[in-house]
Amino acid sequence: MDMLVIRGGNPLHGTIRVSGAKNSALPCMAAAILTEDAVTLENIPQVRDIETERKLLASMGAEVELCKGEEDLTTISCRTLSDPVAKYEIVKTMRASALVLGPLVARTGMARVAMPGGCAIGGRPIDLHIKGLETMGATITQEHGYLEARADRLRGTHLVFDKITVTGTEDLLMAAVLAEGETLMENCAREPEVSDLAALLTAMGAQIEGAGTSTIRVQGVTSLHGARHRINPDRIEAGTFLIAGAITGGDLVVADCNPNHLGAVIAKLRETGVCIDVIGPDAVRVRGGEKLRAADISTEEYPGFPTDMQAQYMALATKAEGVSLVRENIFENRFMHVQELVRMGADIKVDGSAATVRGPACLSAAAVMCSDLRASASLVLAALVADGESILDRVYHLDRGYERIEEKLRGVGAQIQRLGNLFAPAESE
């Protein structure tokens, strides 16, 4: 089991580079199912979830080459999908495997996908994915823990999402592009990852209007062709590094990012007194303030404050003067980092979906346990400023969504080492 050893107290200085967005790469890789031609993707991050998606696509008969050659290209060819089944042993390690459901039905007329089950942060149902496919004419049965969806050809429809769902929007967008007729989707997710997927699908020949807004209109086509597409930078990794610069009182340039995707995060960090300057189309400079001021957050769908940044922000709030109220409105159990932060000396009280953080607290190094991807990032941030040497266990959670994080942080002055071998066998999500 991998561990990270972090000695706190070093302000971070220099330039840290952001990788491609895991949550764009996953739907874009699944989109390759929609065509017999090869799809080539640039800027795919080398993280565990991408390896999981590679295994999933390969298990269905796809040929996948991850991050090869000088141009670091990922090529996926789904010419033959000999076994359109997303098996439980893969799906249990990554619930985003549900993203193959829509494209499989659209391309082959059939899909068998293991029900993802819950994960550390919540129940994570996919009822809205199922409901959307049924309104498009798919027949869906559930047995032995698997979903089976069938449709000769999906039909265009008018669907309104009961709740805003990112992968639900992506899954059904991929179903709609090959459906017969027009599909109008309302109450869609507006995350940049949806727009990134739509850009790829359009390059493949799909006819899509409104991606990135809450209303998306699709004219179905009979087939799609291959394309080459560059994945967006990871806005959550970028936000995590901005907080790393702030919490350590450093002076850090976060490069290869897209500042336009960081509006809510940048505004909130400025509210706490952090100096942040957008210094170019793909770079943001962060300088940790002497004194951090408490500021409340309430997680919302994009463009609101992202739930994927809640744990990281809470680490910063432990160092801010005053009381910060953190409301988690998206997932029902996304405070797994709280008890570990409290063990490091933070003063946090949880009451249902809200956490009250009192600061500034003197954080002291401790042996802590990672529980989910963003909770792990929160513990890294706390350890960077804690007094002494922290040991973070089960960092395979972190490796799901952060590429070589210890190398990147060491490159800007952090004292951080990995013990154990990368990509040791993971347990379920």
Cα–Cα distance for residue pair 55/59, rounded to 1 Å: 6
Q: Kindly identify the residues of this chain, within the stretch 28-87, that bind ligand EPZ according to CB under 6 A.
A: none
- Which lies closer to ligand EPZ via its Cβ, residue 10 or residue 378? 378
Q: Which of 96, 366, 382, 412 binds ligand EPZ (CB under 6 A)?
A: 96
Tallying the residues shown for the chain, one arrives at: 429
State which of residues 373, 384, 386, 398 lies at the interface with ligand EPZ (CB under 6 A).
Answer: 373
Q: Is residue 376 a contact point for ligand EPZ (CB under 6 A)?
A: no
Q: Nearest 10 degrees: CA dihedral of 177, 181, 183, 184?
A: 140
Smallest distance from the beta carbon of 284 to ligand EPZ, in angstroms? Answer: 20
Residues contacting 263, CB < 8 A, separation 6+: 303
Return the amino acid letter for 345.
G
Phi and psi at 82, nearest 5°, equal: -70, -25
Among 2, 53, 308, 429, binds ligand EPZ (CB under 6 A): 308
Instruction: Determine, following the binding rule CB under 6 A, whether residue 243 of this chain makes contact with ligand EPZ.
Output: no
Q: d(Cα 47, Cα 34) in Å, to the nearest integer?
A: 24
Q: Strand 367-369's sheet: what is its strand order?
A: 367-369, 389-393, 3-7, 415-419
**Is 372 or 406 the residue whose CB approaches ligand EPZ more closely?**
372
Q: Which is nearer to ligand EPZ, 37 or 234 (CB)?
A: 234
Number of chain positions touching ligand EPZ (CB under 6 A): 25
Asked if 166 interacts with ligand EPZ (CB under 6 A), we say: yes
Q: Give the number of other Cβ atoms within 10 Å of residue 143's Cβ.
A: 7
- Quickly tell me which residue has 């929609």 as its tokens: 34
Q: Degrees (nearest 5) of the Cα angle 415, 420, 426?
A: 115
Phi, then psi, of 308 in degrees rounded to 5: -70, -5
165 forms part of the interface with ligand EPZ (CB under 6 A)? yes
Site string (193-212) toward ligand EPZ, x via CB under 6 A: x-------------------
Residue linked to tokens 């940790």: 288
Do 102 and 174 contact (CB within 8 A), yes or no? yes
With contact defined as beta carbons under 8 Å apart, do 75 and 228 qualify? no
125 counts as binding ligand EPZ under rule CB under 6 A? yes
Tell whether residue 128 is a contact of ligand EPZ (CB under 6 A).
yes
Residue number, 6 or 28, with CB nearest to ligand EPZ: 28
Q: Are 293 and 320 in contact (CB under 8 A)?
A: yes
* 55, 294 Cβ separation under 8 angstroms: no
Contact pick of 83, 127, 271, 407 for ligand EPZ (by CB under 6 A): 127
- Per DSSP, the residues of 37-77 read SEEEEES----HHHHHHHHHHHHTT-EEEEEETTTTEEEEE
The span of 73-81, 164-172, 208-216, 390-398 binding ligand EPZ (CB under 6 A) equals 164-172
Q: For residue 357, state whether it binds ligand EPZ (rule: CB under 6 A).
A: no
CB of 128 to ligand EPZ, least distance (A): 3
Interacting stretch for ligand EPZ, rule CB under 6 A, among 56-64, 120-128, 225-233, 245-253?
Answer: 120-128
Q: CB of residue 28 vs ligand EPZ: minimum separation in angstroms?
A: 11
Residue nearer to ligand EPZ on the CB measure, 79 or 163: 163
Answer yes or no whether residue 177 interacts with ligand EPZ by CB under 6 A. Answer: no
* Residues at the interface with ligand EPZ (CB under 6 A): 23, 26, 96, 122-129, 163, 165-168, 189, 193, 307-308, 330-331, 373-374, 401
